[in-house]
């Protein structure tokens, strides 16, 4: 069973992260603008298949770590909190804009799906994100750590399907306008940066129930 006290925080943080534009959203928008709604939705599914792979791997790996040593799990949890703070600080002070021109070559739907899954699965940043993000919302007292981790990962992926799907549908009909909104894209680093820092600090300062 999930910790219901932490679940609203997890959902809120996930929604904010998913709604703020990033590289995956830019890729989905580019596909939707260049090849239409179907291609955009296929790219959404491919990215989320890759994300689910990382969520599953994180659940298995972190659960195995807990079974071997609860102390080691706690160490990973706090290292994850520190990593989230690091990501937030780096994001805030980064001068790179998410609004870099994203160009994609026209591909068949089968190629778009396989390419998207491969890119998502081989993205080490996604793996590190799940390893740092998911443990912050696990409650040892609830038991079944692996099920908690997997449930959180699946919930994140399901929300990502909805949010990224909305971007695909919007971009397929109003993509050029969406890509022209520079203020929205420039604000992304501040929103995401503060969310990362907040998550990391909350996890680091939270009292351990065990």
Question: Does residue 64 or residue 100 have the better pLDDT?
Answer: 64
Q: How far apart, in whole angstroms, are the C-alpha atoms of residue 44 and residue 28?
A: 6
Q: Given this model, what pLDDT does residue 187 score?
A: 64
- Model confidence pLDDT, tens digit, residues 18-58: 877 666 777 787 788 778 889 999 999 999 998 899 899 88
The Cβ-side half-sphere exposure at 17, using a 13 Å CA radius, reads 24
Average pLDDT over residues 56-80: 77
The predicted structure's pLDDT at residue 210: 42
Separation CA 32–CA 40 (nearest Å): 4
pTM for this entry: 0.75
Could you state, in order of their start, the residue ranges of all structural domains in the chain? 7-204
- Angle of helix 182-205 relative to helix 70-93, nearest 10 degrees, comes to 150
Task: Give me Rg for the CA atoms of the chain.
Answer: 18
């Amino acid at each position: 069973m999930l910790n219901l006290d932490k679940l609203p925080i997890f959902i809120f943080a996930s929604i904010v992260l998913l709604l703020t534009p990033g590289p995956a959203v830019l890729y989905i928008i580019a596909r939707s603008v260049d090849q239409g709604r179907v291609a955009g939705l296929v790219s959404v599914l491919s990215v989320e298949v890759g994300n689910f792979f990382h969520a599953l791997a994180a659940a298995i790996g972190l659960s195995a770590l807990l079974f071997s040593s609860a102390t080691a799990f706690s160490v990973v949890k706090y290292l994850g909190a520190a990593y989230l703070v690091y990501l937030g600080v780096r994001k805030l002070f980064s001068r790179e804009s998410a609004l870099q021109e994203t160009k994609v070559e026209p591909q068949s739907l089968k190629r778009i799906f396989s390419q998207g899954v491969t890119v998502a699965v081989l993205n080490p940043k996604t793996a590190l994100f799940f390893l740092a993000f998911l443990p912050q919302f696990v409650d040892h007292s609830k038991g079944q750590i692996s099920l908690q981790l997997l449930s959180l990962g699946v919930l994140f992926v399901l929300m990502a399907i909805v949010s990224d799907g909305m971007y695909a549908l919007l971009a397929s009909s109003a993509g050029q306008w969406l890509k022209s909104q520079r203020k929205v894209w420039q604000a992304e680093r501040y929103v995401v940066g503060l969310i990362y820092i907040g998550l990391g600090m909350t996890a680091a300062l939270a009292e351990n129930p065990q």
